Amino acid sequence: MNKDKIIIDPNLSSYLSIKDILRYKSLLNNLAKRDFLIRYKQALAGILWALIKPLVNVLVFGYISYKISNTGNVAANFAYLASAMLLWQLFANVFNDVSNSIINNSNLFSKVYFPKIVIPLSTILVCLVDFLISLVILIVLFILSGQTIYWHIILAPLFVFLALLNGFGIGLFFATLNVKYRDVKFIVPVLLQLGMYITPVIFSTNFYLDRLPQWLHWLFCLNPMVGAIDGFKYALFGGDSIGNIYYFISSIGVSFLFLFIGLKYFYKFERSFVDYI
């Protein structure tokens, strides 16, 4: 029999362990399945809601964007907006759900041991499924607008992954804060609301850079979603989607910095969450 040896002592610091996560794979799947099943239980439209919410957003903001930056092809305009909007929604959902995931599942880890990182990871899975469903909207608009498909469409999943990492990293930081300060629950939606307007969601990066004073441009090179959204647009539509290559690269750098900080902060307090819940 192979014997695990567990050492428990006060100074033991926990860290991200892929082995541990794999061992709790079935918990990860079951938590994601639970959240998914419960979300649409006793709702008449059921899973259709995963489609309705983003559709309304795309229609409303698509109309606004079309009216303001009027550029010929209506469907193309909508498709362009939908790509940014859906990716932003993915980020927003991951950020919001991850930041609440720890306190929402405190009943679990206050009674049983498992690597707590499994909880936010399962949250990501649920958000990803929602995103894949909402992709239907983008595909339909893409076909309607008669877009040509470039080779760089194979890069698209990379930028989806980048958006996930953004939501996960920042979400972990807020999830840890949330354990002690429940104000986080209210702050996150406000941050997201503000964030959408300083991110190239409704308008392109160039639209912003042309109109914003020079001294505000740092907002774009420090915003981790600029890289993800512009990269995603480039993968789908090509052209000059990437407004400024330096800002683009810096933004991706910030993504990984935030992920690192989020993980670091989470693991610093992970072991004593129970004492603060």
- Give the C-alpha separation, 238 to 87, whole Å: 17
> Shortest gap between Cβ of 53 and other proteins (angstroms)?
21
Distance CA 87, CA 251 (A): 16
**Minimum CB–partner distance for residue 187 and other proteins (Å):** 13
Tokens of 24: 């709790």
CB of 193 to other proteins, least distance (A): 21
Category of 239 on φ-ψ map: left (φ > 0), alpha (ψ -120 to 50) or beta: left
Q: Does 37 bind other proteins (CB under 8 A)?
A: yes
24 vs 265, beta carbon nearer other proteins: 24
- Start-to-end CA span in the chain (Å): 37
Residue 12 as a binder of other proteins (CB under 8 A): the answer is: yes
Encoded amino acid at 20, one letter: D
Find the binding residues for other proteins in span 38-57 (CB under 8 A): 38, 41-42
Handedness of CA 242, 248, 251, 253 (dihedral sign): positive
Maximum CA extent, the chain: 70
Selected from 15, 16, 17, 29, the binder of other proteins by CB under 8 A is 29
Q: Does 111 bind other proteins (CB under 8 A)?
A: yes
Determine the distance from the C-alpha atom of residue 18 to the mean position of all C-alpha atoms in its chain, rounded to a whole number: 21
The CA R_g of the chain, rounded to the nearest whole Å, is: 20
CB of 109 to other proteins, least distance (A): 7
In residues, how long is the chain? 277
* CB distance 83 to 237 below 8 Å: yes
Binding mask 247-276 for other proteins (x = CB under 8 A): ------------------------xx-xx-
Confirm or reject binding of residue 72 to other proteins (CB under 8 A): no
Query: How far apart are the C-alpha atoms of 172 and 13, rounded to whole Å?
Result: 17
Q: Indicate the residue among 114 and 207 with the shorter CB distance to other proteins.
A: 114
8 binds other proteins (CB under 8 A): yes
CB of 124 to other proteins, least distance (A): 17
Q: Shortest gap between Cβ of 35 and other proteins (angstroms)?
A: 10
Interface ranges with other proteins (CB under 8 A): 3-10, 12, 24-27, 29-31, 33-34, 37-38, 41-42, 107-114, 271-272, 274-275
